[in-house]
Amino acid sequence: MCKHVDGRRLVRSAALAGLSALIAGCAAHPNERVTGDGGSALLRVSSRQVTVDLTDAERDALSHIQDHTLGNIGGKQALTATVATLGKMGFDPVKADQEMSLVEGERNRIVGERWRAAIRALLKAKGLPLRGKPDHESIHALISVRPDQTGPGTTLVRARFDVTVWDTNGDSRTTTLQQEAVYQCFFAGLDRALSGQTVDGDLACLNGNG
């Protein structure tokens, strides 16, 4: 558990770097799906929604960082600790399904400064064509808890974080977070919650100001 906590500053830096890349980078991806077509550059009829599915290689890489095994911890205890940890990461609401052993959380955050967005809105109102800039993001957490097959009395926790970024034109892009630092930070918080350690303040894994 300690190896997660000792690298907290590195965890934050890597997580922020990953999020910045997601927000700023709209490079073509082989598994990009347009789920809502906003029209053309000349005739825009609505907003545009894009979902980026993981490639086989990305899915394999994610499988190596999204699992965490807990020894001598029951499923109910793990679910309760998961809810508390996501809350410390800024997710609200957080909901647990005891029957399905699932926990879901949502975290929303404004990206950029409101005064800049206001200026852009005024310029667009005057008919000036402006490229969309990241405006806000929503991160969806899906955590499953189930008995682990490696030994009796062990529990497997599997995490996945998907982020949707909206821009000032109302367009959105949804991707899966693949930064190991984010998952390490979550599992570190989970370990601390299960050991009864007090967490001073929020876990800043995803905070723009760290």
**Structure confidence by residue, pLDDT tens digits, 90-116:** 999 999 999 999 999 999 988 865 545
More confident residue, 209 or 168: 168
**In whole angstroms, what is the distance from residue 83 CA to residue 86 CA?**
5
Q: Is the pLDDT of residue 208 over 70?
A: no
115 to each of 134, 154, 168, how far by Cα in Å?
14, 51, 13
More confident residue, 152 or 93: 93
Check residue 196 and give its pLDDT.
84
DSSP 97: E
Counting Cβ atoms within 10 Å, is residue 137 exposed (0-12), middle (13-18) or buried (19+)? buried
Amino acid, single-letter form, for residue 207: N
Q: What are phi and psi of 85, to 5 degrees?
A: -70, -45
Counting Cβ atoms within 10 Å, is residue 150 exposed (0-12), middle (13-18) or buried (19+)? exposed
More confident residue, 73 or 21: 73
Place of tokens 């053309």: 40
For the chain, list the domains and their CATH numbers.
Answer: 2-195 (3.30.530.50)
Q: Is the pLDDT of residue 204 over 80?
A: no
**In whole angstroms, what is the distance from residue 159 CA to residue 63 CA?**
10
Neighbour count for residue 104 (Cβ, 10 Å): 16
Check residue 16 and give its pLDDT.
43
More confident residue, 31 or 203: 31
Counting Cβ atoms within 10 Å, is residue 132 exposed (0-12), middle (13-18) or buried (19+)? middle
- What is the length of the chain? 210
Check residue 65 and give its pLDDT.
97
pTM of this structure: 0.75
